[in-house]
Structure 1
Amino acid sequence: MTEGRIQKALSGFYYVDTGHEIVTCRARGKFRREGISPLVGDRVEIQEVGNGEGVVETILPRRNAFVRPAVANIDQMVVVASGAIPRTDPFLIDRVAAIAALMGCDVLVLLNKCDLDRADELYQTYQAAGFPTLRISAETGEGLEDLPPLIAGKLSAFTGNSGVGKSSVLNALDPGFSLQVGEVSDALGRGRHTTRHVELYRLSCGAEVVDSPGFSSFETTELNLELKRRLPETFLEFAPYLDRCRFQGCSHTKEQGCAVREALRAGKIQKSRYASYLRLYEELKPLRDWQEAKRAKGRSI
């Protein structure tokens, strides 16, 4: 057996970096029967069969696993955003940050295209919320020198809404990159997806990064249910106030004596961050009732 890490997954093939070569692998049928998919970032054991080919035999224990982007063992989510066209909705950043916190990942916010728009509001919001936040420009190189120390020695997933320049940032970071860069539609104000699959890259600064095709809704019901149970703790700036509410089990949405809402009124929690909390709360609110009703129906049959 040979151990390696999956660098790319494409059309049923897994490209495993053993440290000496890239081995093109299929996965054993047992994974499909068990409902498990090997993911980019997985440490795996493979059986080499010659000619640079092999079979994935074992997926080693994971630190974490994400559905979108479909990656495993991520240390840090790097959310690329923009104050220029296409302007990033803070809710997209906050949703990724909440999932990252749930899965034990750090979050780094990169505000790209600062040569076009300084994104002052986004910068102030995420600085105040305690996230490392950089203003950069993949076009001019501004701020890029501060990025390598924040990603070196880590496996980071680069993500963000389409058109904000994820591939451009990675191209600017390392001269070995040649990722396709898409144009932003003037009519729609959003970019075309240029990343068609998830792939892991090694940078000259010692970082490992994953480029992924944008982020969408996190669709795994079990993950959403866990997020519902732990939503307040995934907003890290809520932490000093969670045990100070008047009522146990406070939802931090409308209760009297809620310390989180008092901190909001005092300006200690950013309004857009709290708005994202409320939006996530409402989106997640019906999930458990729906699933429990389904289970109850199954028991009655």
Structure 2
Amino acid sequence: MDKRTGLIVKATGGFYYVQADGVLHECRARGLFRKEGVSPLVGDRVELEPTGEASGYVTAILPRKNALVRPPLANVDTFVIVASVSDPAPNALVIDKLMAIACHKEIRPMLVITKSDLGGPDALEEIYRTVGIPVFAVSRQSDEGLEEIRAALSHGISAFSGNTGVGKSSLLNRIDGRLSIATGETSRKLGRGRHTTRHVELYPIGEDGWIADTPGFSAVDLERYEIIRKEELAGCFPEFAEFSGNCRFTGCSHTVEKGCAVLEALREGKIHPSRHASYRALYEDAKKLKEWELKDPQEKK
């Protein structure tokens, strides 16, 4: 039986579009996935059984290294968080939630600051360069920084996320003009953009890179689908790692304790106050989680 291995680059209407051997196959999934309660995701490496020149069935999902529920995407290498200087104004807590989720899933976070023509990106750059992640600033009036972003995305699968209206789709179109992803104007009345991306789809870039444009998220979705326990949260703030092992007491929450090395680093300016404020807010939220909320999101459906 002829079987091939490929990558799911799009999923919509019960069909999975699998890139294999230079051909895009329109596939259905075998019934066994429903029985096992598993669904193929965009980004999955799969085995397919061709039934025609460009059609077939997905018969197996190869092992995943990670998966996101919202957006539904697997095997992500880089999580690109997009924030704008203004219109809409940046929300540090939302940025830090996204960054924590990326770190929790062992995905490399990257920050792109858009609309730098509306104001200086220095304040955001100052916060996130101390985290030790790639940070890029781009203007709508020049192409400066775009080539560096292209290079950073040229290998593996990259997911884009950020508040609606920050310019994710516009940025992707500028990174690669072949994409032609639909964009929406920012609503002046509401101060936010219209949702323009309706499904997750991978687009090729560079040598062996794929980029995904994803629907605008909400903080509610983040809290519901990508839960981080309070005990795991400090590990999702990379700049804490150098200090958290030196706290006086085991199980330190890094919020109020005497002898906390993280709080000492904060006082010494080695950890940015904005980041620690986000950590404390997320920690307080995590403390309120009920046991049923900590179950795998797939079990709650």
What's the TM-score, normalizing by structure 2?
Answer: 0.91
For 1:171 and 1:291, how far apart are their aligned partners in 2?
A: 38
Q: Which SS does the other structure have where 2:67 is aligned?
A: coil
Encode CA deviations 1:65-96: one digit per residue, 9 max, x unaligned: 11122111111101111111011211111111
Q: Which SS does the other structure have where 1:209 is aligned?
A: strand
For 2:293 and 2:166, how far apart are their aligned partners in 1?
A: 36
Residues 138-287 of structure 1: matches in 2 within 5 Å? 138-204=140-206, 206-216=208-218, 217-218=221-222, 224=227, 226-287=228-289
Count of aligned pairs between the two proteins: 290
Encode CA deviations 1:121-173: one digit per residue, 9 max, x unaligned: 11111112212111112453232122122111121111111111111111111
Q: Which structure has the highest strand share of the two?
A: 2
- Corresponding residue of 1:64: 66
- Corresponding residue of 1:99: 101
The residue type equivalent to 1:76 in the other structure is T
Taking a change above 3 Å as real, the CA distance of residues 176 and 205 of structure 1, as seen in their structure-2 partners, is farther
Q: Which SS does the other structure have where 1:154 is aligned?
A: strand
Structure 1: give runs of 5+ residues left out of the alignment: 293-301
Determine if contact 1:86/1:189 at 8 Å carries over to the other structure: yes
Taking a change above 3 Å as real, the CA distance of residues 208 and 276 of structure 1, as seen in their structure-2 partners, is same
Structure 2: give runs of 5+ residues left out of the alignment: 295-301
Taking a change above 3 Å as real, the CA distance of residues 124 and 291 of structure 1, as seen in their structure-2 partners, is closer
- Corresponding residue of 1:297: none
Determine if contact 2:153/2:206 at 8 Å carries over to the other structure: no
Determine if contact 2:246/2:260 at 8 Å carries over to the other structure: yes
Taking a change above 3 Å as real, the CA distance of residues 37 and 218 of structure 1, as seen in their structure-2 partners, is farther
- Corresponding residue of 2:45: 43
- Residue 18 of structure 1 pairs with residue 53 of structure 2: no
Taking a change above 3 Å as real, the CA distance of residues 220 and 51 of structure 1, as seen in their structure-2 partners, is farther
Determine if contact 2:154/2:206 at 8 Å carries over to the other structure: no
Determine if contact 1:148/1:205 at 8 Å carries over to the other structure: no
Determine if contact 1:244/1:258 at 8 Å carries over to the other structure: yes
Q: Give the RMSD, CA atoms, in angstroms.
A: 1.8
For 1:211 and 1:291, how far apart are their aligned partners in 2?
A: 28
